[in-house]
Structure 1
Amino acid sequence: MVPRGSSSAATLADMTEAVLTYRAASTAAIGAVEIDLLLSASSPDPSLFFDGFLLHAEQAAVALLQLAKVARTRFYLPPSMVAARIAAADPVVTASADRLRFESFSLCCGVAARFDALSGGLDRPPASNGTTNVDLNPPVRDLLADVRGDEPLHLAVGTNVTVTTMTASVVEHRVPLSTRWVRGFAEAQASSAALARRFTVPAGQARRFVRGLPATSGSRSVLYVIQGRDGLRLTATSQAGSVPLGGANRLRTIEPLLGYADSLTVYGPATPGSGVSSWQVDLPDGRFVLTLSPNSMRGFSGEGGLLFDLADDQAADDALVLSTLLDFTPVIDPTRIARLAGLDVGRIRPALAHLAAAGRVGYDAAEGAYFTRALPWDRTLLETMHPRLADARALVHQGAVTVSGDRATVTSAGNVYVLRRSGDSWICSCPWHGQHGGSRGPCKHVLAVSLLASDLEGRDGRR
């Protein structure tokens, strides 16, 4: 990890526990009529990519405070883990075209939060595109907590970082971003892309529902949310159109924002099997989105939802092409980018999955589209971030995999695992597959068989 105050910039490829280091930290200043928050740019270009006002100041301040709260919170602590081992990370902000996006993850990586300040909430569009970190340390949080009504809230994105009030000045140092967050970005994107809108309720109904949720984790069982005549309610069993809600207390994070909201839009799995849900607070000229993992004990960083795409070498090559064409558009049009890249449109989604695995691509369920953020990307680093994929490639390299029709065997650590094909999938005899099935991505044996089968098909195609 790069020490705070280091003079050199680092990319994800530079270290074992990879981090993203920004070139300066953040600043906030309060005067008689306005509060300034200066954000540090990851680009070497020192020019500002946003220098303007957030027009819904109090609403924006509350959203940023909740985003920071998520980044400081561990909703689940395994009995063997010491809470202080992982320090809180700072949220990430991306300026693109007509909006600012702020994103963060909880310490347990099971809650993803995003605040979108849309065009109507900015007094001007960003001057240019870029991604940075946002320091929301105590002095800045104190400033935001004092914002009331329509007080001007000014944001400038640049390189110098000083927090200044009428009586004090605080300098924030650059903050590293660990690969754990990058993996979280990737898996949250994959989960969000598989969600569908279930229902939208007025803000008043949403407030009553959220206030009735438990304040602590309580039971580990998953509850379900349905829409009744008088609003949302919980049920213990899944029903048609219901939305899973594991770790219901985590949803209380959105409660402070519901007083500013027009409505609450809820997204649930488009197909059975996933326990992920997304809760979108619809604000004037903005959105605050909370995406929850299936339960408090599961984080997004280890789900493995992108492993099949990452095992696709053709998609990796396509991603190299796409990486030069991403232009910070808040909505990626697959047809347009396929035309620019000279690729078939069907090859775009797997290529985007590779970029998502490096944190370069996110997914906005409200617009049903991918968006970009500027984090460093190193293709060679991806497999070190996904040990199951690295192990699968090693098994193929060792000759430990045999495939014969609809059956396969994998020899690993002295054990022989038998796999059989079921439709387009493989079922493995290993304990991992027995416990999780396909709900947490493929086991390394299924990945190894898929890699070998793909390699054999490629050889046949070249004959």
Structure 2
Amino acid sequence: MSDIVYHYQNPSVLNKTAGSDELFLSKYSEVQKKDVPCFFWGKLKDPYTTSRCLITLSNVVQSSFNLSPFQLAMLKDPIVTAGNEKIRFEGFSHCAGVYARVDILPDGHDGEFPGNGTTNVDFNQPMISALSSVSKAENVVLSVGKKEVAIAKEGQKIVERKVPLPTKWIKGLASVQLFLADAERVFTFNRIQTLQLFQSLPNGKPRTDYYLIMRGTKPSFSPVKSGNGICIGGVHRLRLLEPLLPLATELRVFAQPAMQSVTWQLYFGAVRFSLSISRDAWRGFSGEGAALESLIEDVPDSWIDAVDKFSYANHEFNPTLLSIEEGLDLKKVENITGRLSAMGLLGYDLDENHFFYRRLPFKLSRILSLNPRLKDAEKLLEEGKVAITLQTDNRVEAKVQGSGVNHFVVLEGENEKCTCTWFSKHQGERGLCKHILAVKKKLIS
């Protein structure tokens, strides 16, 4: 990517005080989001593998593990992002408990990027049929535009038009990217090991958790935990990967430290396929609330707007680098990251270890509308229903008025407890309850 040079009328200023720091970014009107009709146009260098990955992605999007047929009809197909010499196709299962992505890397295409942008299309049967018939020696041209995605081959052109991006997906994008950012690579398998592993995949839909374990050099799925095994709920969902296994040269497995998600990344040269599954088959990423902790502290809208423009210009967002270069506290950078993620603007690349940028409509109002627990917490504060009853250096106790009952919150170090039914049921695994959120927000207000 060529260097981008900005000219500022005034310098940015960082004011530091004993308890906080404030960054005032100089306005850079030179960074304007271009309204271009085409984001990418060019040939695919490995059209056969790419088409098989896109078919598998479509299978993920058409699958469901806990929704009714009526709910299935309400959701659509892939999100497509072009920029930084990469094309990314993303999608969720209908229940939002499985997230998949196809990354076409710079060596996987021969084309041009007139601009960077994101669109959302519906892969209908003509597109699936065209992808299914792609041969290894065939020339395939892909185009990604503001209002459509198209492939052309042997005089045939299939066009898919833009459709609305489901709200459920925006909520899922926020949680899954933050889980990915926390994930660590645990296993790497070659093709033979990968095929051996999936031969041990249990039949049917197991009702219990399974574990990915090693027996010598041979990996397998087992209902019994041993050693450093990875816990996998709803292991049958991994069958979505089976059509791609014979083509992959490598499989890498990444686990979120608390096992709230596990990501399976297959490699095909300049093409990657990622599949992330939630902790249980009935749990969707859209309801996990992973971003709530970073949304507690308010961040000026001007900061969010400035970082959004910075991310758009550079096609990526590196929180650690921003913290170092601008002298910002890591907690504030986490808040900015959480807000951009909550609006669906950030994805995460495990191999490159940083966020990439999606160009979606920039709406700060999405943060509250897509996070009802945060909205409810603010309402509790506005109505004066939160009272701090004890506050010491390492312990906070509070009383929160509910509907006919008082809830009691205790914050002690990294441990957080509440007497509400949400906390009793989930024990903090699906994000903070509204009462803990309200107490934490009151402490910093």
TM-score (norm 1): 0.82
Contact 1:99 1:125 in 2 (8 A): no
The within-5 A match list for 1:21-420 is: 45-77=35-67, 81-84=68-71, 86-124=73-111, 126-158=113-145, 172-219=160-207, 221-270=208-257, 273-314=258-299, 318-327=303-312, 329=314, 331-334=316-319, 336-338=321-323, 343-344=328-329, 346-404=331-389, 405=391, 406-420=396-410
Q: Distance in 2 between matches of 1:350 and 1:197?
A: 25
Partner of 2:189, secondary structure, is: strand
The structure-2 alpha-carbon separation of the partners of 1:84 and 1:356, relative to structure 1 and needing over 3 Å to count, comes to closer
Partner of 2:90, secondary structure, is: strand
- How far the C-alpha of 1:320 sits from its partner, in A, is 2.9
Q: 1:443 aligns with which of 426, 429, 433?
A: 433
User: Corresponding residue for 1:10?
Assistant: none
Q: Distance in 2 between matches of 1:441 and 1:84?
A: 24
Partner of 1:304, secondary structure, is: coil
Provide the alpha-carbon RMSD of the alignment. 2.4
- How far the C-alpha of 1:208 sits from its partner, in A, is 2.6
The structure-2 alpha-carbon separation of the partners of 1:199 and 1:134, relative to structure 1 and needing over 3 Å to count, comes to same
- Farther-moved stretch of structure 1 (125-134 vs 375-384): 125-134
Which letter does structure 2 place at the counterpart of 1:134? V
Structure 2 gap segments, 5+ residues each:
1-32
- Farther-moved stretch of structure 1 (224-233 vs 58-67): 224-233
Contact 1:361 1:371 in 2 (8 A): yes
Q: 1:421 aligns with which of 411, 427, 430?
A: 411
Partner of 2:265, secondary structure, is: strand
Partner of 1:374, secondary structure, is: coil
Partner of 2:311, secondary structure, is: coil
- How far the C-alpha of 1:355 sits from its partner, in A, is 0.4
Q: Distance in 2 between matches of 1:163 and 1:149?
A: 15
Aligned residue pairs total: 407
Q: Distance in 1 between matches of 2:155 and 2:45?
A: 26
Q: Distance in 1 between matches of 2:430 and 2:301?
A: 22
Q: Distance in 1 between matches of 2:194 and 2:119?
A: 32
Contact 1:279 1:291 in 2 (8 A): yes
Partner of 1:227, secondary structure, is: strand
- How far the C-alpha of 1:364 sits from its partner, in A, is 1.6
TM-score (norm 2): 0.85
- How far the C-alpha of 1:447 sits from its partner, in A, is 0.6
The structure-2 alpha-carbon separation of the partners of 1:84 and 1:414, relative to structure 1 and needing over 3 Å to count, comes to closer
Which letter does structure 1 place at the counterpart of 2:265? Q
- How far the C-alpha of 1:242 sits from its partner, in A, is 1.9
The structure-2 alpha-carbon separation of the partners of 1:282 and 1:276, relative to structure 1 and needing over 3 Å to count, comes to same
The CA deviation string for residues 236-283 of structure 1, in whole angstroms up to 9 with x for no partner, is 34444322211111111111112221110001123xx33310000011
Q: Distance in 2 between matches of 1:290 and 1:160?
A: 26
The CA deviation string for residues 61-114 of structure 1, in whole angstroms up to 9 with x for no partner, is 00011111111111223xxx4445543411011111121111000000000000
- How far the C-alpha of 1:436 sits from its partner, in A, is 1.0
Contact 2:255 2:262 in 1 (8 A): yes
Q: Distance in 1 between matches of 2:414 and 2:103?
A: 38
User: Corresponding residue for 2:30?
Assistant: none
- Farther-moved stretch of structure 1 (428-437 vs 226-235): 226-235
Q: Distance in 1 between matches of 2:156 and 2:181?
A: 45
The structure-2 alpha-carbon separation of the partners of 1:223 and 1:53, relative to structure 1 and needing over 3 Å to count, comes to same
- How far the C-alpha of 1:47 sits from its partner, in A, is 3.9
The structure-2 alpha-carbon separation of the partners of 1:85 and 1:121, relative to structure 1 and needing over 3 Å to count, comes to closer
Q: Distance in 1 between matches of 2:325 and 2:412?
A: 37
Which letter does structure 1 place at the counterpart of 2:169? W
- How far the C-alpha of 1:165 sits from its partner, in A, is 8.1
Q: Distance in 1 between matches of 2:300 and 2:179?
A: 19
Contact 2:91 2:101 in 1 (8 A): yes
Structure 1 gap segments, 5+ residues each:
1-42, 456-463
Partner of 1:199, secondary structure, is: strand
User: Corresponding residue for 1:35?
Assistant: none
Contact 2:92 2:100 in 1 (8 A): yes
- How far the C-alpha of 1:135 sits from its partner, in A, is 3.2
Q: Distance in 2 between matches of 1:379 and 1:61?
A: 36
Partner of 1:233, secondary structure, is: strand
- How far the C-alpha of 1:172 sits from its partner, in A, is 4.4
The CA deviation string for residues 329-370 of structure 1, in whole angstroms up to 9 with x for no partner, is 455333554577674455322201110111101112222211
Contact 2:139 2:153 in 1 (8 A): no
- How far the C-alpha of 1:425 sits from its partner, in A, is 3.8
Sequence identity (%)? 32
- Farther-moved stretch of structure 1 (43-52 vs 302-311): 43-52
The CA deviation string for residues 212-257 of structure 1, in whole angstroms up to 9 with x for no partner, is 32353231x2211023324221233444432221111111111111
The structure-2 alpha-carbon separation of the partners of 1:147 and 1:320, relative to structure 1 and needing over 3 Å to count, comes to same
- How far the C-alpha of 1:173 sits from its partner, in A, is 4.2
- How far the C-alpha of 1:196 sits from its partner, in A, is 0.5
